[in-house]
Amino acid sequence: MLEDRSAAAPPSPWPAAYPQGYAVVDVETTGLARDDRIVSAAVYQLDARGEVEDQWYTLVNPQRDPGPVWIHGLTSEVLADAPLFKDIAEPFAERLAGRVLVAHNAAFDWSMISREYARARAEVPVRQRLCTIALSKELRLPLPNHKLESLAAHYGVVQQRAHHALDDARVLAEAFRPSLHLAAEAGVRLPLLACQPLTEWSDGPAAGTRSATIGYQPSSSYGYRPQTWRPSRKRPACPYPNPGRYEPGEQLIQGMRVAFSGDTSVDRELLEDRAVDAGLHVATSVSRLTSLLVTNDPGSPTSKTAKARSFGTPVVDEAAFMQLLLHVTPAQSRA
């Protein structure tokens, strides 16, 4: 006897508190520092249930060296005739307006976008963002790490061009949709965060870093290696004294010693460079002097996590750390 599917229970109602639309965003950049720029951007507009409504992509001339070409593939020659950010700010904003910005490690994408709009003397029409790393944790997805490729593999989404903004946005949109439906079915509260405009930015790189003019000097002039984003130079010592341990719920303070353990969605060396730019000391090991350990897998049996547990060192994940990096307290302002 065939099952009478017409008598099946209707699907559960969609949570009324959920947003009415999303803008899945990916940006490729020249790096992670305050002076770094966007070189390409993509947006997939989704409706309330995660269905695609539109897509958009643009190159952006960063007016400086494009940075890790071996990652995003965008050379000075390719970007020379691309529009400046101020010229694409309005069409970009139109695709974000009234929607929740969704990104993988959203704190990073939001910081880059917000600073570009600050430079353009314009406002980003976004009030909330959602990080798919945070959502994956809320759903307790069985992922080996928090990389986009792992989330995509979990849902069977095939990546075609990794680190191409449009394809990364497509992959994330396709992976976000089933996560959104899982959350709705389980009545999970979405991990939405407010988008506060950033005002700390620079028109050009700090002294001793990459050129402010696109194509002014090739990347090889700065000692970059194709295998890694970090310049082939020894980092100077952190100029600030260690203020002690990080207090959960508080802000990071310049001089704090930060260690990293395990896989990260952002390239480890890029993440470390971002920490150094913020005035933190990147430690290669964990000791009683370590202020904070950053790991996406605090239960892993690594020596760093074991030492952090034994010393009582505070531990945060990558997404939380990226959020903390947005507001690092200057060393001299500490009481």
Query: CA-to-CA distance for 326 and 131, rounded, in angstroms?
Result: 15
Range list of β-strands (E), 48-120 = 52-59, 100-103
CA pair distance 136, 116, nearest whole angstrom: 28
**pLDDT reported for residue 207:** 36
Residue 239 and residue 210: Cα distance in Å, rounded?
A: 21
**The amino acid at 281:** H
Phi/psi for 42 (5° steps) reads -140, 145
Question: In whole angstroms, what is the distance from residue 73 CA to residue 280 CA?
Answer: 30
6 pLDDT more than 60: no
Answer yes or no: are the C-beta atoms of 208 and 223 closer than 8 Å: no
Q: What is the pLDDT of residues 176-232, one digit of tens each?
A: 999 999 999 999 999 998 887 665 555 554 433 333 333 333 333 233 333 333 444
Mean pLDDT over each residue of the chain, to the nearest integer: 84
Q: What is the pLDDT of residue 11?
A: 53
Tokens of 272: 């470390």
Query: Mean pLDDT throughout 142-159?
Result: 92
- Is 46 in contact with 170 (CB distance < 8 Å)? no
Instruction: Report in angstroms the alpha-carbon separations of 303 from 271, 276, 281, 287.
Output: 20, 23, 19, 11
Q: 99 is written with which tokens?
A: 């929607």
- Tokens at residue 232, please? 């082939």
283-303 pLDDT per residue, tens: 999 999 999 999 988 887 888
Residue 269: closest CA among 230, 238, 235, 304: 230
Eight-state DSSP code of residue 66:
-
Given a cut of 80, whether residue 47 has pLDDT beyond it is yes
pLDDT > 90 in the chain, percent = 59
- Residue 5: is its pLDDT beyond 80? no
> Cα(16)–Cα(227) distance, rounded to whole angstroms?
47
Q: Which of 230, 233, 241, 224 is nearest to 279 (CA)?
A: 241
What does the pLDDT read at residue 9? Answer: 43
36 has pLDDT over 70: yes
Whether 93 and 113 have beta carbons less than 8 Å apart is answered as no
Whether 280 and 255 have beta carbons less than 8 Å apart is answered as yes
> What is the mean predicted confidence (pLDDT) over 101-125?
92
The per-residue pLDDT for 217 is 32
- pLDDT over 60 (residue 74): yes
Pick the closest to residue 108 from 167, 182, 38, 61 (CA basis): 38
Cα-to-chain-centroid distance, residue 308: 25
Q: How far apart are CA 82 and CA 8, in angstroms?
A: 54
Q: What is the pLDDT of residue 322?
A: 85
Q: How confident is the model at residue 2 (pLDDT cuts 50, 70, 90)?
A: very low
Structure-model confidence comparison of residues 188 and 5, the more confident one: 188
Q: What is the pLDDT of residue 182?
A: 97
Identify which of 84, 105, 278, 91 has the alpha carbon closest to the alpha carbon of residue 191. Answer: 105
Buried b (16+ CB within 10 A) or exposed e, 227-250: eebbbeeeeeebebebbebbeeee
Query: What is d(CA 188, CA 173) in angstroms, rounded to the nearest whole number?
Result: 19
**Cα gap 22→223, rounded to integer Å:** 40
Task: Report the pLDDT averaged over residues 63-82.
Answer: 93
pLDDT of residue 203: 58
Comparing 81 with 278, the larger pLDDT belongs to: 81
Indicate the SS3 state at residue 266. Answer: coil
Is the pLDDT at 85 greater than 70? The verdict is: yes
